[in-house]
C-alpha cells in the first residue's frame, strides 16, 4: 500500500446496512475487516403470500432500522461519533428497501459529518470470500464466483475490486426462485429452499427421472424453468390429493440433485472460459445448500482448484458483506490516489450491473 493510501485508511470503525430484499441487517466492522458486531432480522410478514412483497418489506425496513442500528452499535460498544463512514446496499434489489436503507445511512452520515459509501449488493457477495478468515491464506484475484440466490444465478470472473466479467447467467428463473417455487408445489413453507432441502434428506435423489436443462451445452448460462415444469408434470396425477410423504421426499431429492448437476456442469464450462482461476467461490443463499456445496467442492478438487464458500450466516443477505465491500472500495480508491469516496448524490438502483463498477475508479458514478 502506498503512503497516500496508508494515510487515507479509515481510522475508526464503519457501519453497514443491508436492506435490498427482506433481510434487515446492520454490522460494525473495524478498518481491517474484523467484525465487531452484526445483527440480522429476517422479516416474517411475507410467508402468507408465498414470496417477498416489496411494499411490506420496505415498511418493515423503515420500522426496524433505527432500533437495529442502535442495538448493533451497543453490541460493539461503539459511539456513532467514532465512525469513519457509513455504507449501505444501494442496488440492485427491491427499490423500496434500497431507498429506506440507503436513505437512512445517508441521513446518519450527514448528521455525523462523515462520508456515505454506496455498495453494489452483487459486488458485496462477490467480495465476501476476501473477508479475513473466510479462505485460508486469503482469496487473491482472479477467481471464479458462482452467485446463486433467489434473484441471481451467475458465473462471474472476479478480476479485482470493481473489475468483473459476467461469463453466464440464468435465462429464466434463478436457482433460489426455482427452489421456492418447487417447494410451494410440494406444499412446503416459505422460504422454500431450506424446507425442500430438509425434506430431500428423506428421499432418494435417483428415484425420479428429471431433465438437466442446458446440460453440456456451450457456455455457462443456466435455465431452470423446464425443470420446474417437469416437477409440475410429476405432480399432476395427484390433483388436489395430499402427496405421499415418500414420493414428495423422492421428488425433492431428485430435484435438488438435478439442480446440483446442472450447476456443476455449468461451472465446468465457466472454468474452461477462465483458465487463470485458481479458486472457485460460491456465494448467495443457495450456496448454503449442502448437496450443492459438496458437488462444487468435488468439481473444484477434480480441477485442482481450491473451493470456498462463506459460512452459512454470510451466504444469505447480511451487512457484513456490505461493510467489507465498502472497505475494499475505499482502499482501492486510495491506492489509485483518488479523492475519498462520498456517494451522497448516488440514487438507489433496482438494477446495477457489475460491469458499471469500474467507472467508480475512472470517473464519478452517474447519479441516475
Could you give the C-alpha distances from 303 to 137, 167, 209, 280, 353, in angstroms and in order?
Answer: 19, 18, 28, 10, 29
68 annotated as a binding-site residue: no
Q: Are 153 and 174 in contact (CB under 8 A)?
A: yes
| 135 assigned to a ligand binding site | no
| Cβ contact 57:99 at 8 Å | no
**Per-residue pLDDT tens for 114-157?**
999 999 999 999 999 999 999 988 999 999 999 998 778 999 99
As a three-state string, the secondary structure of 191-245 is CHHHHHHHHHCCCCCCCCCCCCCCCCCCCCCECCHHHHHHHHHHHHHHCCCCCCH
Cis before 191? omega within 30: yes
Q: What is the average pLDDT value for the chain, to the nearest integer?
A: 92
118 vs 104: CA distance, rounded Å: 12
C-alpha cell at 120: 453494489
Peptide bond into 142 cis (omega under 30): yes
Each residue's pLDDT tens digit, 185-230: 999 987 889 999 999 999 999 999 999 999 889 999 999 999 999 9
Residue with cell 489509485: 336
Q: Is 172 assigned a ligand-binding role in the annotation?
A: no
Nearest residue to 66 via CA among 82, 52, 80: 80
What's the pLDDT at 8?
Answer: 55
- Is 366's pLDDT higher than 70? no
Site of grid cell 427421472? 209
Q: State yes or no: pLDDT of 312 exceeds 90.
A: no
> Is 289 labelled as part of a ligand binding site?
yes
d(C-alpha 184, C-alpha 176), whole Å:
12
Residue 235 and residue 185 in contact, taking contact as beta carbons nearer than 8 Å:
yes
- Mark 350-365 as b/e (b = at least 16 C-beta within 10 Å): eebebebbeebbeeeb
DSSP per residue, 56-89: HHHHHHHHHHHHHHHHHHHHHT--GGG-S-EEEE
Distance CA 283, CA 315 (A): 6
Domains and CATH numbers, the chain: 3-127+315-361 (3.30.420.40), 141-309 (3.30.420.40)
b or e along 221-240 (b: 16 or more beta carbons within 10 Å of the residue's beta carbon)?
bbbbeebbebbeebbeeeee
Half-sphere exposure of 154 (CA within 13 A, CB side): 18
pLDDT at 313: 87
Query: How far is 292 from 259, CA to CA, in rounded Å?
Result: 8
- Residue 180 annotated as binding site: yes
Where does the pLDDT of residue 47 fall: very low under 50, low under 70, confident under 90, or very high at 90 and above?
A: low
**Cβ within 8 Å of residue 111, ≥6 positions away:** none
What confidence category does residue 285 fall into, taking pLDDT thresholds of 50, 70 and 90? confident
- pTM greater than 0.85: yes
> What are the pLDDT digits (tens) for 246-268?
999 999 999 999 999 999 999 99
Joined grid coordinates for residue 336: 489509485
113 marked as part of a ligand binding site: no
Residue 329 has pLDDT above 60, yes or no: yes
From CA 211, how far away is CA 343, in angstroms rounded? 46
Residues 86 and 47 sit within 8 Å (Cβ to Cβ): no
- Check whether 163 is labelled as a binding-site residue: no
Read off the pLDDT band of 308 (50, 70, 90): very high
Q: Determine whether the annotation assigns residue 151 to a binding site.
A: yes
CA proximity to 88, closest of 77, 97, 101, 99: 101
- Higher pLDDT: 307 or 285? It is 307
**SS3 label, residue 338:** coil
343 marked as part of a ligand binding site: no
> Does the annotation flag 147 for ligand binding?
yes
Check residues 48 and 292 and name the one with the higher pLDDT: 292
Q: What's the rounded Cα separation, in Å, for the pair 106 and 357?
A: 20
Amino acid at each position: 500500500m502506498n503512503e497516500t493510501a496508508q494515510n487515507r485508511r479509515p481510522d475508526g470503525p464503519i457501519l453497514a446496512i443491508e436492506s435490498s430484499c427482506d433481510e434487515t441487517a446492520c454490522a460494525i466492522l473495524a478498518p481491517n475487516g474484523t467484525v465487531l458486531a452484526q445483527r440480522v432480522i429476517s422479516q416474517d410478514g411475507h410467508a402468507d403470500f408465498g414470496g417477498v412483497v416489496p411494499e411490506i418489506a420496505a415498511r418493515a425496513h423503515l420500522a426496524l432500522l433505527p432500533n437495529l442500528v442502535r442495538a448493533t452499535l451497543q453490541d460493539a460498544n461503539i459511539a456513532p461519533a467514532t465512525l469513519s463512514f457509513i455504507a449501505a446496499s444501494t442496488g440492485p434489489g427491491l427499490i423500496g428497501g434500497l431507498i429506506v436503507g440507503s436513505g437512512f445511512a445517508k441521513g446518519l452520515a450527514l448528521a455525523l459529518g462523515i462520508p456515505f459509501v454506496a455498495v453494489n449488493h452483487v459486488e458485496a457477495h462477490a467480495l465476501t470470500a476476501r473477508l479475513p478468515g473466510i479462505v485460508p491464506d486469503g482469496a487473491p484475484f482472479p477467481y471464479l464466483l458462482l452467485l446463486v440466490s433467489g434473484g441471481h444465478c451467475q458465473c462471474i470472473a472476479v478480476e479485482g475490486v470493481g473489475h468483473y466479467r459476467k461469463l453466464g447467467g440464468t435465462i429464466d428463473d434463478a436457482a433460489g426462485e426455482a427452489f421456492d417455487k418447487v417447494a410451494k408445489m410440494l406444499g412446503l413453507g416459505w422460504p422454500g429452499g431450506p424446507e425442500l432441502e430438509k425434506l430431500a434428506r428423506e428421499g432418494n435423489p435417483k428415484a425420479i427421472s428429471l431433465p438437466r436443462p442446458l446440460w453440456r451445452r456451450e457456455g455457462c448460462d443456466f435455465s431452470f424453468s423446464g425443470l420446474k415444469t417437469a416437477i409440475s408434470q410429476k405432480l399432476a396425477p395427484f390433483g388436489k390429493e395430499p402427496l405421499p410423504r415418500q414420493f414428495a421426499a423422492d421428488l425433492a431429492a431428485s430435484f435438488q440433485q438435478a439442480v446440483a448437476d446442472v450447476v456443476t456442469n455449468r461451472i465446468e464450462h465457466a472454468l474452461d472460459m477462465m483458465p487463470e482461476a485458481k479458486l472457485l467461490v460460491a456465494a448467495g443463499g443457495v450456496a448454503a445448500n449442502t448437496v450443492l456445496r459438496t458437488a462444487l467442492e468435488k468439481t473444484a478438487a477434480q480441477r485442482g482448484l481450491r473451493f470456498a464458500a462463506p459460512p452459512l450466516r454470510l451466504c444469505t443477505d447480511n451487512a457484513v458483506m456490505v461493510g467489507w465491500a465498502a472497505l475494499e472500495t475505499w482502499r482501492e480508491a486510495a491506492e489509485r490516489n483518488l479523492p475519498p469516496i462520498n456517494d451522497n448524490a448516488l440514487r438507489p438502483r433496482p438494477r446495477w450491473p457489475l460491469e458499471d463498477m469500474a467507472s467508480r475508479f475512472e470517473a464519478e458514478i452517474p447519479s441516475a
